[in-house]
Amino acid sequence: MILVPMDTPGVKRVRPLTVFGRDGEGRGFEIAQGRLGPGRLHHCMRAIGLAELALELLCQRAATRRTFGKKLYQHEVVAHWIAECRLMIEQTRLLTLHAAHALDTVGNQAARKQIAMIKVAAARMVCKVVDCALQVHGGAGLSDDFPLAQMYSYARTLRIADGPDEVHLSSIARLELRDQLKSAQAKL
């Protein structure tokens, strides 16, 4: 990243870019700084908080809306979504704590696998939980009556902004193979 005043000769702003229709102008340095060191886990913690809110909205809607003579939560598929969302949130919370502990005890370099795992897990989890909440809200979930459409754009962007899942998966596989082979060698 290179920071220069906008009026520097040769600097030309061609066009602003938006992400999901939103403008993040002025936040580039903040975003870049958030990726350094332990800050790499902050977005995972925010994803958990966002997923908690999405699950809360899902449950409120499921408890107040009726279809086919039953409240939405009385339909087995919605009840299962609620349970699956809670499971995913708690699994992600534990993986985040594990990665944070690794960062604190062994440092950034040694915790690379845990960091890569949580980046994938948190982004996937929040997308799925918000998607379930959107589904339960139907068309209303896409409107500005609820924050779900904005939440989804943030959640989906998370799967790209901090590196695509596929890059993290390649790192996880490489580090896991290294660890497994090292463990096998030690047993010989």
**Architecture per CATH, 41-176:** Up-down Bundle (1.20)
Predicted TM-score of the model (pTM):
0.80
Contact residues for 67 (Cβ-Cβ < 8 A; gap 6+): 75
- Per-residue pLDDT tens for 10-51? 888 888 777 777 776 666 655 555 455 566 788 899 999 999
CA distance 128 to 175: 26
CA distance 38 to 140: 37
3-state secondary structure of 163: coil
The phi, psi pair for 44, rounded to 5°, reads -70, -40
- The domains of the chain are located at 41-176
Q: Are 129 and 93 in contact (CB under 8 A)?
A: no
Q: What is the pLDDT of residue 36?
A: 53
User: In the chain, helix, strand, coil percent, each to 5?
Assistant: 75, 5, 20
Q: Supply the mean pLDDT for the chain.
A: 90
pLDDT along the chain (188 residues), means of 10: 81 78 66 57 93 98 97 97 98 97 93 94 97 97 95 92 89 96 90
Contact residues for 145 (Cβ-Cβ < 8 A; gap 6+): none
Provide the CB-side half-sphere exposure for 36 (13 A, CA): 5
Q: Is 52 exposed, middle or buried (0-12, 13-18, 19+ CB in 10 A)?
A: middle
Radius of gyration of the chain, Cα coordinates, nearest whole angstrom: 20
Structure-block tokens of residue 88 = 């995913």
Q: What is the pLDDT of residue 38?
A: 62
Q: What is the pLDDT of residue 1?
A: 58
Q: Are 125 and 92 in contact (CB under 8 A)?
A: yes
Of 41, 47, 171, give the one whose Cα is nearest residue 112. Answer: 171
